[in-house]
Copies of this chain bind each other. A is one copy, B any other.
Amino acid sequence: MKSTIPDDGVPIGQTAGNGSDRPEASLHGEILLRLRDYVVEGNIPEGARVPERQLCEMLGISRTPLREALKVLAAEGLIELLPNRGARVRQLSQRDLAELFDVMAGLESLAGRLACEAITDDEIADIERLHYEMYGHYLHRDMHGYFLANQRIHEAIVDAARNETLKTAYTNFAGRIRRVRYSANFARKRQRWGEAMREHEAILDALRRRAASELSDILFQHLRNKRTAAIEHLTEAPEGAPASPEG
């Protein structure tokens, strides 16, 4: 059965939709990137089993590099590896979600604190522009645009912290809750939107004054509120959630 995978099947460079713009030499690295995206984007239902063989055929590689990639994804917290029972997409309990949001809040809070030490006026101006852009989306009730602008603002703050280690960790955690995060934003009632806008104004204000502790507080609270909204949302519509809390 094995050799039925001809070379012409799916050569490595194919990277469907991925674009070959990412500089990754080794096969396992390539696989890692593709698999991570594949999982993060939600192509596999939560808790679903991920058969190695099937993925191998899909990616056109042997099991060795795939298993290496799986180990890394497990270390990142995206999937879990049950001994002798294969890989499953990690299912986030409500508790897990709450924890992740809090950690994200802590990281952004830290980013804000550090940003106050290093941010330039130009960077603040950039964030202001994003803020007004977001405000425009808010007025037009453009949910998607608002979401993107919002994300870019938070990214800009993390960038301004000038801490690659922080940014890497932030990106990692963000990946874990990406799906939920997005759908959680849809959960925003009008009222919460308004609150969020006011919070963002406060963020900008503190940033302009380089008030580190204050900004840290505001950012944490801002993310905390998002967390609440997200969890309420999932409680109401437990789409991918495990109905029975396991702990």
Contacts and interface: CB of A to CB of B under 8 A. Distances in A.
A21 B100 CA distance: 29
Give chain A's interface residue range (CB within 8 Å of chain B).
Answer: 35 or more
A43 B198 CA distance: 53
B166 A106 contact: yes
A48 interface: no
A5 B48 CA distance: 40
A109 interface: yes
Contacts of A67: 68
A15 B84 CA distance: 22
A145 B184 CA distance: 47
Interface stretch (A71-79, A186-194, A200-208): A71-79
A17 interface: no
Contacts of A29: 83
A2 to B, nearest CB: 18
14 contacts: A68-B68, A68-B71, A69-B71, A75-B76, A99-B164, A99-B165, A99-B166, A103-B110, A105-B110, A106-B110, A109-B216, A110-B220, A113-B220, A169-B169
